[in-house]
Amino acid sequence: MPQVTGHRPVTACGGGRRVASPVVKLLIVTAVAAEADAVRRGLSVDHDVAAVGVGPAAAAAGTARLLAQATTPYLGVINAGVAGGLAGRVGIGDTIVATEALSAELGVALPDRFQPLDELGFGSNVVACDPTLTEGVPGHRGVVLTLATITGTPEIAATLASRYPTALAEAMEGFGVATAAAQAGLPFAEIRTVSNAVGDRDVAGWDWNAGFGALSTAVAALPTIGSIKE
C-alpha cells in the first residue's frame, strides 16, 4: 500500500531562486494520547497528529482550534481511534472505515422512538465521510455512531443496533470532528479499530493492544497525498 506523503514538489521560481511549495498535510485527530501514539507509529511521514479530548464537544472545539491556528491549510481531516464494535457485525481488532459519522443522541427521545435532528428541521445529525481520504485502507465500511455516553448495557446496545442497521461501531468524537471539518470546508474521514464490544463494561476484557495495533496498521495504508482529489 502506498504511504501518505506530505510533500509536493514545484518548480516555481522567484528572483532566479527555486521556491519550495508548502508542505501539504492531513490533520489526524484522536481523543487521547495513546491513540495519537498509535497513529504516529503507523505513519511514515510528518502529518499533524493531535489528541483533542474525549467526547463530541471537546473533539469539535479542539479540531476547530487546530484548523484556525494552522499556518498552512490542511488537505483534509481524519478522526482516528479505537471504538466499541456492534456484536455480530465486527470483531475485536477489526478496522472500520466510516461512510458516515452519525450523532446517535442529537434529537428527541420519544416514548416509542428516537426522532433525529434531521426530522426537526434544525440541521442534521449525519456528516458523510469522503472516501478519497481513506481509499485503499482495508476494513469494514459502514456508519460509525457518535455518542457522548458510552453504552453500558447489552439492552442499550441492542437498541442501537436495531435503530441503526448499517452502523458498525460507536465512538465519542467522530461527529464533532466532522462538524468542525465541514464548517472549515474540508473533507472528513473516520477510521476506527475495535477494542471491545458495545455494551461490554468489563474493561478488564477489552483488548487495547489489538485496537492500537490495528490502528497503526490502518493509517499506514492511507493513500498518497497526490492521489487525493483536491
Boundaries of every domain in the chain: 13-227
pLDDT of residue 209: 95
CATH architecture of 13-227: 3-Layer(aba) Sandwich (3.40)
Closest of 108, 93, 96, 100 to residue 164, by C-alpha: 100
pLDDT of residue 16: 53
pLDDT of residue 68: 96
The phi and psi torsions of 177 (rounded to 5 degrees) equal -65, -45
pLDDT of residue 101: 98
pLDDT of residue 205: 83
Closest of 180, 111, 110, 177 to residue 144, by C-alpha: 177
pLDDT of residue 25: 87
Across 66-106, the runs of DSSP E, i.e. the strands, are: 76-85, 95-103
CB 89 within 8 A of CB 58: no
CB 175 within 8 A of CB 123: no
Residues 6+ apart with CB under 8 A from 34: 208, 212
Please list the rounded mean pLDDT of every run of 10 residues in the chain (230 residues): 35 47 81 97 88 97 97 94 97 97 86 75 88 94 96 93 95 98 97 95 89 97 65
pLDDT of residue 93: 97
